[in-house]
Amino acid sequence: MTMPAPPGDQNPADQESAAQGPAAQDPWSPRPSEPAPPHWPSHPMPGPQPRNGMGVTALVLGIVGVALGLVIVLFWMSWLPALLAVVFGLVGLSHARKGLATNRSMALTGVVLGVAGLLIAVGGGVFAVLTVKKVADDARAEADAVEASAAAEAEREKAEEKARHLPFGEAYTFKNGLKVTVAKPQPFVPDDFVLGHAKGNKAVEVTVTVVNTSTERLSVETGLPNVNDANGASTELVIDGSGRQKVITGYVLPGKEAVGKYAFSLPPDAADTIEVEFSPDAEQWADAYWSGPN
């Protein structure tokens, strides 16, 4: 007969098997179920971040484009940020429609500001072109006016120059109101006591009549004419003792006239046509010219 082992000498595993009974010692019996693993609390996986960069960029560029467009000297720079604002804004709207972005209103505002910036740039460009064109047209018109005025002045001077050339016997009225007439030169025979006339020369007498057509007395500062032949050669003033020469000096009263008589000596080879120059004031009025056969 087998004796049971004392309690103190039993193996703990044997004790556990003995406690579980015969079923625990049966190798074909089902094993007891294992305890379930500990349960951990579940958290939702984070979703993708919204792609809002395009909308933000569109808004910033739109603001920059409009701001540059409102500055007169910088409007020509506004088209580039405004165009980029439209492009980025449209991309941002596309992202918002696909659910990839959450700032649809920001992207839309960028598009609107970009379009406004483009309109401002175009308007500024048109305004600048029109302004430059107006300035150029005004400058051209002013230049044309100056040219026309110069041409008119030249024509006037030419007409005045032509008007100052007269045949003997006609009158020319200077701007101060003195009306001057030079008669056709007449032969002059000096007496024996004569200066400025060489033997063999031809002497002529020139008569100058000055009439004051104004209401004020007018002075004749240079009452001595010059006489040239057709070749431009100057003749000499003849002075003799006959007392026939008379120089116009002093004042001419309104409605009155002064007559001067002058003798000149022409060389034998002088041209047949002579010219007489006369001005009542050579420093103020240009000479008038009378010409014709001697």
User: Do 175 and 77 sit in the same domain of this protein?
Assistant: no
User: Do 186 and 286 sit in the same domain of this protein?
Assistant: yes
In a domain, 16, yes or no: no
In a domain, 87, yes or no: yes
pLDDT at 279: 92
Structure tokens, 266: 């022409």
pLDDT at 74: 77
pLDDT at 49: 79
pTM: 0.54
Final residue of a domain: which of 134, 155, 189? 134
Three-state SS letters, 85-135: HHHHHHHHHHHHHCCCCCCHHHHHHHHHHHHHHHHHHHHHHHHHHHHHHHH
In a domain, 141, yes or no: no
User: Do 84 and 174 sit in the same domain of this protein?
Assistant: no
User: Do 128 and 192 sit in the same domain of this protein?
Assistant: no
User: Do 257 and 172 sit in the same domain of this protein?
Assistant: yes
Please return the burial class of 188, using the count of CB atoms within 10 Å of its CB with bins 0-12, 13-18 and 19+: buried
Domain that holds residue 126: 53-134
User: Which helix (H) or strand (E) covers residue 208, if one does?
Assistant: strand 202-212
Residue 274 pairs in a beta bridge with 229, 292
User: Do 206 and 277 sit in the same domain of this protein?
Assistant: yes
Decide: 133 and 141 in contact? Cβ < 8 Å.
no
User: Do 238 and 288 sit in the same domain of this protein?
Assistant: yes
pLDDT at 188: 92
In a domain, 21, yes or no: no
Give the β-pairing of 251-252 and 218-219: antiparallel
**Which residue has tokens 């049966």?**
26
User: Among 188, 207, 197, which Cα is nearest to 268's?
Assistant: 197
Decide: 101 and 54 in contact? Cβ < 8 Å.
yes
In a domain, 199, yes or no: yes
User: Do 183 and 93 sit in the same domain of this protein?
Assistant: no
User: Do 276 and 182 sit in the same domain of this protein?
Assistant: yes
Can you tell me the distance from the alpha carbon of 123 to that of 140, in angstroms, rounded to the nearest whole number? Answer: 25
In a domain, 101, yes or no: yes
Residue 264 pairs in a beta bridge with 204, 237
Final residue of a domain: which of 134, 152, 176? 134
Burial 150-163, CB ≥16 within 10 A → b, else e:
eeeeeeeeeeeeee
In a domain, 29, yes or no: no
pLDDT at 119: 92
Count of domains forming the chain: 2
Per-residue CA distances from 155 to 142, 161, 173, 248, 284 (Å): 19, 10, 19, 33, 21
The parts of the chain modelled with pLDDT lower than 50 are 1-3, 5, 8-9, 12-24
In a domain, 5, yes or no: no
pLDDT at 181: 96
Q: What angle do CA 209, 212, 215 make, to 5 degrees?
A: 175
User: Do 92 and 208 sit in the same domain of this protein?
Assistant: no
pLDDT at 42: 56
- CATH number reported for the structural domain that contains residue 212 in this entry: 2.60.40.1240
Distance of CA 60 to the CA centre of its chain: 36
Can you tell me the distance from the alpha carbon of 133 to that of 139, in angstroms, rounded to the nearest whole number? Answer: 10
User: Do 113 and 223 sit in the same domain of this protein?
Assistant: no
